[in-house]
Chain A
Amino acid sequence: ELKVEQNPLFLSMQEGKNYTIYCNYSTTSDRLYWYRQDPGKSLESLFVLLSNGAVKQEGRLMASLDTKARLSTLHITAAVHDLSATYFCAVDLYSGNTPLVFGKGTRLSVIA
């Protein structure tokens, strides 16, 4: 059974600080996804990581993938309040065109 674990589940950080969210998964997977969800809203795609060593950056967020360690990280640089949201990582249930298995999410709160 494929399991996806995120940590931390809750994160309160000060504006301007850096932090990393971790996502571990239990079986081999070709792709890893990061989504953002604002309260009461749907999921918004942030990154799709396709191969070992893949790194993608968008603004203050940078995601990386280590398929050998079955680990992805989402690094936040110089956090701002607008980044407050819940972040989910997800992995393909099977290889190819398949449903996703999600982590439980990391609720991020950026405070002044």
Chain B
Amino acid sequence: DAEITQSPRHKITETGRQVTLACHQTWNHNNMFWYRQDLGHGLRLIHYSYGVQDTNKGEVSDGYSVSRSNTEDLPLTLESAASSQTSVYFCASSEWRGVGYEQYFGPGTRLTVT
């Protein structure tokens, strides 16, 4: 079955380290998104992509980067991890459903920056 996966599911890292979170989908969706979830904030958009070589900044993009070299993957990199980036990260992809796009979410990655 087609799916969207994230790895690792849990990560502990130290302040200042570079960290990459993987997102892989097998639906061949062009549109992919990264969100972070924090208590009291809901989900906030970090970066998104509409296709290979396309990336766009979201509401909370500072300190994060993405690259899109193929349709299936959108890795999220924290250039120099900070304690404020401790969060749960969700990747999503979307497809056209006839009357609109619907997003499907991965299982999430819980990142702790110490």
Given A42-B90, A43-B90, A105-B42: A100 touches B107 (CB 8 Å cut-off) = no
Chain A at the B interface: SS class:
loop
Size band of the B side of the interface?
Answer: 20 to 34
Selected A-B contacts with CB under 8 Å, 21 pairs: A33-B103, A41-B107, A41-B108, A42-B105, A42-B107, A43-B90, A45-B103, A45-B104, A50-B99, A88-B42, A90-B43, A93-B45, A97-B101, A98-B101, A99-B33, A99-B45, A100-B43, A100-B45, A102-B44, A104-B40, A104-B42
Given A88-B42, A101-B45, A105-B42, A31–B90 Cβ distance below 8 Å? no
A102 to B90, CA, bound (A): 13
Determine the chain B residues whose CB is within 8 A of the CB of A33 once the complex forms: 102-103
Taking CB atoms, residues of chain B closer than 8 Å to A45 are 102-104
- List, in ascending order, chain A residues with CB within 8 A of B42's CB: 88, 102-105
Measured CB to CB, the residues of B under 8 A from A are: 31, 33, 35, 40-45, 48, 50, 58, 90, 94, 96-97, 99-108
Q: How large is the interface on A (under 10, 10 to 19, 20 to 34, 35 or more residues)?
A: 20 to 34
Chain B residues within 8 Å of A101, by CB: 45
Q: How far apart sit A104 and B33, CA to CA, in the bound complex (Å)?
A: 18
Please name 9 further chain A to chain B contacts, defined as beta carbons within 8 Å, in addition to the given A90-B43, A98-B101, A99-B45, sorted by A numbering.
A33-B102, A41-B108, A43-B90, A45-B102, A99-B33, A99-B48, A103-B42, A104-B40, A104-B42
Residues from chain A with a CB closer than 8 A to the CB of B104 are 45
